[in-house]
Amino acid sequence: MTVRFERLERESVNSTSSIQRSVTQASPAAEAVEHPFAVEVVRPGLQLVLEDLGRPGNAALGVSASGTADRRALRAANRAVGNAPGTAGFELAGGGAVLRFTGPTVVAVTGAAADTEIVRSDGPSLPVEHGTATAIEDGEELHLGWVGEGLRTVVAVRGGLDLEPALDSLASDTLAGLGPGDVGGRPLREGDVVPLHGPSAAPYAVDPCPAPSDQLPAPGDTVELRIVLGPRDDWFTDAGVRTLVEQEWTVTPRSDRVGVRLEGAVPLERAVPGELPSEGAVTGAIQVPPDGQPVLFLPDHPLTGGYPIIGAVIDRDLDLAGQLPPGVRIRFRPVAEIRGD
């Protein structure tokens, strides 16, 4: 069975309000007139995307939930600036981005920590404390350095993003090409301008107490992820299942928002050859291609597949899974007995 993913296009609307609510590429001067509050991407870093908590409940349409890879970080950033918990923000993999702001606002940076500062044209740069609400003025730039621990940094802006949602969400699904405004699920590029609602649109007061930073892994560290075996663990030998939970797996550089590609010294041994009819997959599913090296699905994963799923990471550990940089080693710990014990 062949599964085909097609990009969903929203209807074009020629009204002025629709144009002003799209991510555009134009001169900063023109955008300043159209959008009293906006963010221009001066440098996008390795991968900069727009994400909220996703669009669950659309599997029947062939659309995954998508959403931020670190829900805890997004909620903490929004709480800091006074937004509702699921308000969309910026998710940056690896660091190295520069964002220029039109109009004054308040930002918070959470998730993977990077040296972050506000660069001003008329004064010295100001350091940004991780997880703390920080005021930023018109024309100033937010510079996000490279991360040393974890992978994904989240930036929330007070009032949120003023964009047209796709299926009631501003999440960017990089696999399906589905996302807000004219982005269509793609990563942001240099020159993109994202309009904002403005700080007065935030429903809550700024939180003066920053959330404590999570300890995130660095390359070379070993982390434990809890899993539930199945539904297709019976497609593997007893030795193959034991290899999954007894061997360390290394996160490879080929990982992305679709999945974390793993590599182990011993591939998983199959008991049943070939593929099965395409069946559903969830975020956290551990799918095993023919080479026996697992792929841990992240938010932009395909909804179906014919490779057997040997287990799935529990929901509580999914945020950690979204923060695994290349070089981290993983040990899977089942939360139920392994067959054969």
pLDDT in tens, 47-84: 999 999 999 999 888 899 999 999 999 999 999 999 99
Cis-peptide into 231, omega within 30 deg: yes
- The answer to whether the CB of 288 falls within 8 A of the CB of 310 is yes
What is the model's pLDDT at position 34?
A: 72
Q: Confidence band (pLDDT; 50, 70, 90) for 208?
A: confident
Q: What are the Cα distances from residue 5, in Å, to 9, 63, 178, 295?
A: 13, 9, 10, 19
Distances (CA, A) of 160 to 12, 90, 183: 23, 10, 16
Q: What is the reported pTM?
A: 0.89
- Residue 24's pLDDT band, with cuts at 50, 70 and 90, is low
Cα–Cα nearest to 188, from 199, 174, 207: 174
Which domains can be identified in the chain, with CATH numbers? 16-201 (no CATH), 222-334 (2.40.100.10)
Name 209's Cβ contacts closer than 8 Å, sequence gap at least 6.
none
pLDDT of residue 25: 61
Please tell me whether residue 164 adopts helix, strand or coil conformation: coil
Percent of the chain whose pLDDT exceeds 70: 89
Q: Which has more pLDDT, 278 or 246?
A: 246
Report the alpha-carbon distance of residue 146 to residue 94 in Å, rounded: 6
Please tell me the least confidently modeled range out of 169-173, 240-244, 272-276.
Answer: 272-276
pLDDT over 90 at 98, yes or no: yes
What is the predicted pLDDT for the residue at 337?
55
Q: What is the per-residue pLDDT for 250? A: 98
